[in-house]
Amino acid sequence: MTLLLVAGSTAGLVAGCGSAESLSERAVGAAVKAKTGQDVNIDVGDGAVDVSGSDGAVSRSANKVPQGFPDTVPLPAGVVTAGQRVTTPEGVSWSVAIETDSALDATVEEVRAGLAAAGFTVGEDTGTFAGGGLVSAQRESLSVEAVLTSRPTASDGTPAGSTVQLIVLDAAR
């Protein structure tokens, strides 16, 4: 897993390299092999960076829900700003970042109610705290953690909404 995190972090650097993508992909792959002794495959394109190796794979994308995200996990209304999927021998996890126009309390309630309506058991640690919120839920092999923060108020005093980082783990895959 450490190899994938190193390669995934490094591969993000090649995403903006334009026509030199294949050269950059090879250079990052060679650097990872020199550091770890392991081969990785790096693909950049279509707004995504995919890194795979012997211990799993990481896929990061901008502005879209990651491939294979469970359709049983409801997303709050808003704009998806990033997505990630990590596959390891222990399971699969997904992460989705969403910006909403709703205030923090309303977004926490939307996430909580959505998960409960989808058949998830919502944890007792759900709620808000100074500038943030947390919703945890479980359904069969799926564990969900939603970490929420308030976005700063605009200069005209208009509330800017909330940011949701939704993390889903499927231990059965």
Instruction: Give yes or no: residues 91 and 151 share one domain.
Output: yes
3 state DSSP class of 3: helix
Q: Could you tell me which residue, 131 or 1, shows the higher pLDDT?
A: 131
pLDDT in tens, 117-147: 999 999 988 888 887 999 999 999 999 999 9
Do both 48 and 72 map to the same domain?
no
Together in a domain, 102 and 157:
yes
In total, how many domains does the chain have?
2
Q: Does position 17 have pLDDT exceeding 50, yes or no?
A: no
Return the higher-pLDDT residue of 12 and 45.
Answer: 45
170 CA to centre of own chain: 14
Question: Is the per-residue pLDDT at 116 higher than 60?
Answer: yes
Q: Are residues 10 and 76 in the same domain?
A: no
The region of weakest confidence among 1-5, 24-28, 102-106 is 1-5
Mean pLDDT of all residues in 99-119: 95
Residue 100: closest CA among 169, 159, 155: 159
Give Cβ neighbours of residue 81 (< 8 Å, ≥ 6 apart): 62, 63, 97, 98, 99
Lowest mean pLDDT among 31-45, 78-92, 96-110, 153-167: 31-45
Q: 116 and 77 share a domain?
A: yes
pLDDT in tens, 143-161: 999 999 988 877 777 767 8
80 and 158 housed in the same domain:
yes
**Would you say residue 141 lies in a domain?**
yes
Between CA 24 and CA 108 the distance in angstroms is 41
Domain that holds residue 97: 63-173
More confident residue, 166 or 56: 166
**Extended beta strands in the chain, E state:** 40-45, 48-53, 56-62, 79-88, 91-100, 121-122, 127-129, 132-139, 142-150, 162-170
List the beta bridge partners of residue 45.
48
pLDDT in tens, 18-45: 444 466 666 666 666 666 666 667 777 7
In angstroms, rounded to a whole number, what is the distance separating the alpha carbons of residues 95 and 8? 14
Whether residue 145 sits in one domain with residue 96: yes
On average, the pLDDT of the chain sits at 81
Check: CB of residue 91 under 8 Å from CB of residue 163: no
Q: How far is CA 67 from the centre of its chain?
A: 11
Using DSSP, state whether 26 is helix, strand or coil. helix
pLDDT at position 73 over 90: yes
pTM: 0.76
